[in-house]
Copies of this chain bind each other. A is one copy, B any other.
Amino acid sequence: MSLALASPLADFAPSMGLMNSTILSPLVHFTPPVGFMNDPNGLVKVQDTYHLYYQHNPNGTVWGPPEWGHATSRDLIQWTDHGTAIARVSENEGVFSGCAVVDVNDTSKLFSGTKVPPEERIVAIFTSNWPDNQVQSIAYSLDGGNTFKRYAHNPVLDINSTQFRDPKVFYHEESGKWIMSVARTQKYEVAFYGSSNLIDWQELSTFSGGFTGYQYEMPDLVHVPVSGSNEKKWVLMLSINPGSPIGGSMVQYFIGDFDGKKFTPQDNFARIADTGKDWYASQTWSNTGDEVLCIAWGSNWQYTNQLPQGPWKSIMSLPRRLSLTKVPYNPEYQGYVLTQQPVDVSAYRRNKASGNITDSAAVELQRTSQNGIFEFTIDVANGTVPADSSLSIVGSSQQGHNITMGLLATDSGAHVYVDRTQNEFLYPLFTEKLSTFVPLNSAGHLKVHGIVDRGSVELYFNDGQEVFTNSYILPEGVSLSKLAISTKGYKAKATIYELVVKANDSGK
């Protein structure tokens, strides 16, 4: 019998207010205390503190005219929320996405006459959305990032377009200029602008490429270290929504050169940053030196408004360290891939289970967790396994719910799947059986590093050469209490940890 309902959509009209639910919030991923969150904004490191601003509708658990919320963390795992950082100036404005930089040398002169220490001169550059225009505006903080004062002569960039948004700015040493990437979303153009003072901007060039979907959003050009060398290459990350080939929202990226004016990709290939359905609108932190750290919104516009979360809605992904690695795409092609490693969660590991797993029916590795958070690593030598070898990772609740992940061997790698089927949320766009393909690494192995939080599964393959991030929904009050790894054909080395973060450590 089919599970499809006779009127499958009747129950999915989202309500506009703050929905209440006791669906458990994640503990190693950031969520807002209340209201709807989408894109990460204004990511900037100031001394030892990571600032995370975010698109926030405090008045509902669906998207609504946003302001910037604000949270900070020292370890990128536990966050303290500080409430509104940039409020709307009128009912007609939306404080849309943007970035933040530290204007150490006060190139903007916004800090002249103030006592703000140079290393705390935070300037936010963001899109001010009006019913008939999207313009780029700036604001500066006199209190280390908690509140912002708008520049008196905004906007700083206005091309008379309703589809011009998501500025991301970095300082380009070689040309001695601030460089902004910003999307002319429905022209499929990433526009690059240059400025000496964050206020006066000149257009430098545009870039178009990759998969278009309906529109571009959230471009981010960043200089990324190449593993095992002193080299760096430029990576342009670019979100598209709706209409991604994964379904809904997706982040693609391009590898190439930037000469201070123009981004030139190294090839015409289209590459996807995360092949899961819940990783969108990624942004990198500014002011982190040679380290490149990013975070993304852990949901998808296809279904985020319908998800039965509340009074908070949406999570951020784990922050990730980015590098480029030259790897085999297959036995005949070596190329770079954007390599993503999650922030180190080792301080939260407890109760390790570790061992070798074979396909003896009696042998599996398992671990329980009180709070429903697990980390696991698996290393399988794929080379000589039988053709129908498989590995499954089943997270189960005491009430009998399963979230199932697994590998299905092929001669060149493995199909990877996540099955998040539950009766709790049957929305037609909430794809339940998700799958991707991972080729063998250069040693002929497949490695999996998984972090399972309440409502989120992030799977990192082959040291982060591919990532597959998907959300899941369990009923109110339910979390996964056990994680078990078993194999058929495969021989695997595996470790499972329970991650222990007290709920009130995160202020929840």
A270-B9 contact given A242-B415, A404-B428, A437-B243, CB 8 Å threshold: no
A163 to B268, CA, bound (A): 21
Q: How far is the CB of A105 from chain B (nearest CB, A)?
A: 37
Chain B residues with Cβ under 8 A from A422's Cβ? 1-2
Q: Is A406 an interface residue (CB 8 A)?
A: yes
In the bound complex, what is the Cα–Cα distance between A415 and B10 (angstroms)?
16
CB nearest neighbor in B for A423: B1
A154 at the interface (CB under 8 A from B): no
Interface string of A410-447 (1 = CB under 8 A from B): 10110101010111000011111111110100000000
Given contacts A208-B268, A269-B209, A433-B429, contact A330 B214 (CB under 8 A): yes
A152 within 8 A of B: no
Quick one: which of B2, B392, B423, B435 contacts A400, CB cutoff 8 A? B2
A394 touches B4 (CB 8 A): yes
Bound complex: CA A433 to CA B488 (Å): 27
Specify which of B272, B431, B439 is in contact with A214 (CB 8 Å cutoff): B439
Stretch at the interface among A80-88, A91-99, A244-252: A244-252
Closest to A10 in B: B488
Flag whether A6 is at the interface (Cβ < 8 A): yes
Per-residue B-contact encoding for A1-21, CB less than 8 Å = 1, 0 else = 111101111101110000000
Q: Can you list, as one digit per residue, whether each of A121-141 has a CB less than 8 Å from chain B (1) or not (0)?
A: 000000000000000000000
Task: Find chain B residues with CB under 8 A from A401 CB.
Answer: 1-2
Copies of this chain held together in the complex: 2
Whether A13 and B388, one on each chain, are in contact in the complex, defined by CB atoms closer than 8 angstroms, is yes
For A210, what are the chain B residues with a Cβ–Cβ distance below 8 Å? 268-270
Query: Residues of B contacting A329 with CB < 8 Å?
Result: 186, 188, 212, 214
> Contact residues of A with B, CB < 8 Å?
1-4, 6-10, 12-14, 163, 184, 186-188, 208-215, 242-248, 250, 265, 267-272, 275, 302, 329-333, 388, 390, 392, 394, 400-404, 406, 408, 410, 412-413, 415, 417, 419, 421-423, 428-437, 439, 486, 488
Pairs of residues from A and B, 5 with the lowest C-beta to C-beta distance, nearest first: A186-B332, A209-B268, A245-B245, A243-B437, A270-B270
New contact pairs (14) apart from A186-B332, A212-B271, CB-CB < 8 Å: A1-B401, A7-B486, A13-B388, A187-B332, A187-B333, A208-B269, A209-B268, A210-B268, A212-B333, A244-B245, A248-B435, A265-B268, A419-B428, A428-B435
